[in-house]
Chains A and B, each alone.
Chain A
Amino acid sequence: MKLKHFAGFSAPAIILMVGLLIVPLGATLMWSFQNVPVGQPGVFNGLANYQEIFTSERFGRDVAFTVVYTLIVTVAKVIIGFGIALMLHRITHGRMVILGLLMAAYVVPTVIGALNFSWLFSDIFGGPVNRFLELFGMHINWLTETGPARTLIGLHAIWHETPFVILILLAGLQTLPEEPMEAAHLDGANWWQRQRFLVVPMLGPLFTFVGLISIMDSLKVFDSIRIITPAAGSVGTESIMAYVYSVALGESYRLGIASAVNVVTIFITIILLIPFLRSTWKGARAV
């Protein structure tokens, strides 16, 4: 294809992406160095926004919560997802039916999923989770206490996003060659050893892929927190993006501070993305 044709075919999309994505991003970058009250032009204030967020105790807490949440949820999703993918791979009858049922939690709008999920933990109409825990003499205030509320946000993420991990890893398992498995079996390797030394290394790139996606999504968690704990600030479940919303459009209208947080998040995301970007680059160059 000639450059002339490339330009012709891609011009509308490029114009649209520059106008609707690059320009707003430029505004975010500019605002991060400004004091911007909503509805008024910003005033340049150097690195004051960055200085404020990096010294803010509240932002520090939010970052700590978000990072711990991201690590735990990602590890849990990969382990549970791999386990279920292995089980699905093992059966033949009903595999697609069960996969389809499991996908429901992933495809339903996050807001609705989070609402329905949190109801299982709510005492207002006898949520089954606390009824079950009562059998062991326990009762937990899932929606108002910091520890349980954080656990609940994490459980929701695992419920909502593990199906994606299952899907990707199952697709990977189905493409693995059978010969090395049989060779290992004949050589006396037991089931654990075959998983540990054959399957996991062969699926290596896919584990990296789902892990990266999970890390990037989890760092930006917002929808579920807003639904499950609307008073995230006082419950102790405020994530980085919940902080952005609160600062920019909730309790105050400080777009400069919010933009500085966004810029920092973009920076971290791009660093995490580097391995994925390299494979995208190689894939595109191979054409």
Chain B
Amino acid sequence: MTSITSRLSSGRRDPLASALVMRPTAIRRRRKDRIVALGIGAILSFFAFLSLSPFIWAMLTAIKPFRQAFTNPPTWAFTPEFSSFAQLWRGTEFAAVLVNTFIVAICSVIVALVVGAPAAYAFARYAGVIGPILLVLAVVLRTIPRFAIILPFYEAAKGLGIYDTNFALVAALVAVNMPFTLILLVGFFRDIPVELDEAAMIDGCSRFGAFRRVIIPLMGPGLVTAGVFTLLLAFQEYVVALTLTQNYAVTIPVFIAAQKGADDVSTYQTLAAASVALVIPVVLIVFFARRYLVAGIGGGAVKG
């Protein structure tokens, strides 16, 4: 009997009970538990370091003096310089491309939310067959290859004379990301009880009034999550921007790939500087918004 209680009490379920019936074996077990946890923590920290090592390496490359950056074996002792960041800012299109990428990404998020939120609300509330059919269709559309949509876009954009414009890029990004935004939002709308709509309508709201005055304010966190996610997707989209842009509407991934494609050692340090300049804000966003992001990744997790 005592062995069972001590074994149960070491299970970390009830600290009070375990304190009361603490036996020497249980104390030893707890100490062992803590050592195991420390060991696992050390292994996980090592994995986290490995996972971040490409970014650390890029950082080192960016701040090394030119001669010391391209030695084999690598130079570890050097005086940091920041000239590659200055070169990135003044000597390349980076700043303009960055601004353009944000404009395009934000426009596509606004359109996706304005159009997607009412539709997601309708999908979450309507009891007929057509809603589920459209939702299944959205899942299918989310997973088909980008090129199946973008090659016709490319032809149409050339034909209409809007190739290499922000307008065509925003339209394509909205198209490609809309199913994802929709699926994510439907999940959030389903979590809001129907009784709230009904109460609002009994109090004299129209269907639209209930949506605008009651549901949308409650959807704040959901809209933020969907917005942040769609923004990240739009920001990092490569296939769409690669196909639809050439000079004027270029986005960051296309810019980076083109610089890399030049395959000239002198651009490597500016590329490293660009990586660092982009990775740090993204990592900070993820770090501070991780709760929102966890909900988003789990909720609408069909990547394209």
A: which residues have CB within 8 A of B? 1, 3, 5-6, 8-10, 12-14, 16-17, 20-21, 23-25, 27-28, 31, 38-39, 84, 87-88, 90-94, 96, 98-105, 107-113, 115-117, 119-120, 123-128, 131, 159, 163-164, 167-168, 171, 178, 182, 185-186, 209, 213, 216-217, 220, 222-223, 226-227, 230, 241, 244-245, 248-249, 255, 258-259, 262-263, 265-266, 269-270, 273, 276-277, 280-281, 284-285, 287
Contact = CB atoms under 8 A, between A and B. Distances in A.
B253 A109 contact: yes
Contacts, number: 313
A16 B286 contact: no
Nearest to A134: B73
Contact of B52 (A101, A127, A209): A101
A93 to B, nearest CB: 7
Ordered nearest first, which 5 A-B pairs have the shortest CB separation? Answer: A126-B74, A109-B236, A13-B119, A20-B175, A284-B132
B123 A104 contact: no
A125 B131 contact: no
Contacts of A182: 8, 11
B41 A93 contact: yes
Interface size class of B (residues with CB under 8 A): 35 or more
A138 to B, nearest CB: 15
Contact of B171 (A20, A96, A178, A220): A20
A119 B58 contact: yes
Interface of B: 4, 7-8, 11, 13, 36-37, 40-41, 43-45, 47-48, 51-55, 57-58, 61, 69-75, 115-116, 118-119, 121-128, 130-132, 134-136, 138-141, 143-156, 158, 171-172, 174-175, 178-179, 182, 186, 190, 207-208, 211, 232, 235-236, 238-239, 243, 252-253, 256-257, 260-261, 263, 265, 268, 271-272, 274-275, 278-279, 282-283, 285-287, 290, 293-294, 297-298, 301-304
A167 to B, nearest CB: 6
Contact of A91 (B41, B154, B279): B41
